[in-house]
A and B are shown apart, each in its own frame.
Chain A
């Protein structure tokens, strides 16, 4: 429980964060920006875990633990994605998503 702040306000903030991430994922042209957007989505959900844990089950720690897991996984995933992007750059000298569309019909 955080004094003066209701759960709805925090969930509104995380929802905005989530949809900003989705919007960024769809509209950004640069692969790095897309990666950042993905991080926003992940962080929004991590905050949700913590907040809902805090407000609904204050005595337990599962939600907090999960958010730590998410951070670890996100770190690994980012490392992987960045390495892919670097390799891609070596191949086609570009990190624009429009240049990576050979896998189509």
Chain B
């Protein structure tokens, strides 16, 4: 492998970030957009080059794909325990390179149209480049600490971009919320990393993930509260992943993160950053699978399944289209998690793992497309709410068709990309856990329903009277839509199981026709229901909502999770814990320090007159001192 090329993939966006960040005021917006796009284009080309070399040039040498690592020691603790910096090339990191490159490039191109005329245009591209750099670094990380560093960097860039409209109070609050919630989850991640480092003596993915390695073979050697310490560590690491991937109950930041500009939502909160949690679990998959016979992996499966169901139910009742998409993202991330959770290790057993990565890939394409389409609609209508939309198919044909393709893809209708990946996930779930399978099928139906609810709501439904006639977006915005639509159509035909598997050997995956038929049937049922409810303006949906009564209200308020968090933090944590501690800190800790300072100042006020500036005073003090010393010495001498 040519590592000097690979290292450029993250470094080019970093250079672009520095260039745009430092010369923010001097670069014209028209130029900065091109700098951003071309910087990322270079990274994209290198990513594809790497992928081609990895999958098609190197593979011919042996049956299984190798793992290439190039690293330098960064911090040395003991002979074995050290933190390296480097790049790790294996099937999933190469796949993520492709995903990040495609989506990020499309979002860069799209942003040139979407953000046109915005005051912080250059700043926006600088932040996008910072994010791309961090995400590439996260993907290529060779060890737990390196991934943690970039993990926090993507968190920071996410924070900066959510709070991009920093004059809007809700955006600032959302940015803080996203940062604090994920940061809180990262505390678990950090503790998990430290436990792994302490008990296995290494942070390296290669050593940790080796099924014959000491880390995995000796998992039972130390236990804590009935579980192996490594299981605890993996659970804690999963908490970090759950925070980034918006798994229940750490999901509350994702819907609010929609306050950011829509391209940001597409890039960070749909396609790339939020899948970091899934990627982390996949990265440590052998650990999850072998330690304690997959105890931690079961937790992953159930948290994923529950999150996907939970989010899908909420998505049905939301009226802000970006929030529907946010909950949809959360639901699909749950899907990926549950697929990892039900996966085995060898050959065909590893179907869940491969399906999860496959779904990650296809989901990135169609969800980015959905968000960019929504952005195009919002750009035209100047509103996020379904009630302000309707009948837009006449005005925005390209957005309409591409959005429809994405909706069909996420609903799992063949031959669109989502069908294939979702089918693999359901097969894997069916083979391992029936309960999770049924949840998965139910969620597939819900997904189709809520997605077509907003599709019909935006493009069909009532004929809204618009103040300004909506227009199709400019080519810079529709071009990415078309590219992503194309990928959403053909993406499913990539023989993923040949390339991305746990044991890197590759196997033939076949469609399981009965299960596929069930999934498609459920999906179509959801679409038909949405058709009946929302195709034409009618009061069926309102009647239905009234029928469910309090449950509907409960759901549309997101099961009051925000309120619960607010109650716990504001009423209990802030009032009962933080406030007394703050008081103690102010009064006693600070008081001591301030008191010492004040006493010193007071004393010096009193004695500063000694420094009179008069030479003779000093001379007098000096001579007096000498005389006193002389007297003392004479006294001592004579006695």
- Could you list which residues of chain A lie within 8 angstroms of chain B, going by C-beta atoms? 22, 25-27, 34, 97-98, 100-105
Contacts and interface: CB of A to CB of B under 8 A. Distances in A.
Contact of A104 (B611, B616, B619, B620): B611
B612 interface: yes
29 contacts: A22-B623, A25-B616, A25-B619, A26-B616, A26-B619, A26-B620, A26-B623, A27-B616, A34-B615, A34-B616, A97-B614, A97-B615, A97-B616, A98-B614, A100-B613, A100-B615, A101-B612, A101-B613, A101-B614, A102-B613, A103-B613, A104-B611, A104-B612, A104-B613, A104-B614, A105-B608, A105-B609, A105-B611, A105-B613
Q: From A25, A98, A101, A105, name the one whose CB has the most chain B CB atoms within 10 angstroms.
A: A105
Interface string B569-608: 0000000000000000000000000000000000000001
A80 B170 CA distance: 73
Contacts of A97: 614-616
Nearest to A103: B613
B111 to A, nearest CB: 60
Nearest to B613: A104
B24 to A, nearest CB: 46
B489 to A, nearest CB: 82
Dominant SS at the B interface?
A: helix
Contacts of B620: 26
Nearest to B604: A105
Given A27-B616, A100-B613, 9 more contacts: A25-B619, A26-B619, A26-B620, A34-B616, A97-B614, A97-B615, A100-B615, A101-B612, A101-B613
A98 B615 CA distance: 9
Contacts of A103: 613
A30 to B, nearest CB: 12
Nearest to A22: B623
- Number of chain B interface residues as a range: 10 to 19
A26 B461 CA distance: 103
Nearest to A104: B613
Contacts, number: 29
A104 to B, nearest CB: 3
Contacts of B616: 25-27, 34, 97
A95 to B, nearest CB: 13
Contacts of B612: 101, 104
A86 to B, nearest CB: 17
Nearest to B608: A105
Interface of B: 608-609, 611-616, 619-620, 623
Q: Enumerate the 8 nearest inter-chain pairs by beta-carbon distance, A residue then B residue, closest first.
A: A104-B613, A101-B613, A105-B608, A105-B611, A103-B613, A101-B614, A26-B620, A104-B611
Nearest to B616: A26
A101 to B, nearest CB: 4
Nearest to A101: B613
A25 B623 CA distance: 11
A105 to B, nearest CB: 4
B626 to A, nearest CB: 10
A22 B620 CA distance: 9
Nearest to B605: A105
Contacts of A34: 615-616
Contacts of B609: 105
A100 B618 CA distance: 13
A97 B612 CA distance: 12
A102 B609 CA distance: 13
Contacts of A22: 623
Nearest to B624: A26
A102 B532 CA distance: 93
A105 B620 CA distance: 18
A98 B617 CA distance: 11
Contacts of A104: 611-614
A25 B612 CA distance: 17
A27 B611 CA distance: 18
Contacts of B619: 25-26
Contacts of B623: 22, 26
Nearest to B612: A104
Contacts of A98: 614
A56 B368 CA distance: 104
A22 B623 CA distance: 8
A91 to B, nearest CB: 16
A1 B611 CA distance: 48
Contacts of B613: 100-105
B617 to A, nearest CB: 9
B441 to A, nearest CB: 83
B602 to A, nearest CB: 15
B475 to A, nearest CB: 73
A50 to B, nearest CB: 23
A101 B609 CA distance: 12
A101 B618 CA distance: 12
A97 B617 CA distance: 11
Contacts of B611: 104-105
A2 to B, nearest CB: 28
A70 B609 CA distance: 36
B611 to A, nearest CB: 4
B428 to A, nearest CB: 80
A105 B616 CA distance: 16
Contacts of A102: 613
Contacts of A27: 616
A20 to B, nearest CB: 13
A44 B623 CA distance: 16
B268 to A, nearest CB: 58
A62 to B, nearest CB: 25
A46 to B, nearest CB: 19
Nearest to A23: B623
Contacts of A26: 616, 619-620, 623
A102 B611 CA distance: 11
A89 to B, nearest CB: 16
A81 B234 CA distance: 79
Contacts of B614: 97-98, 101, 104
A105 B605 CA distance: 10
A34 B620 CA distance: 13
A104 B613 CA distance: 4
B615 to A, nearest CB: 6
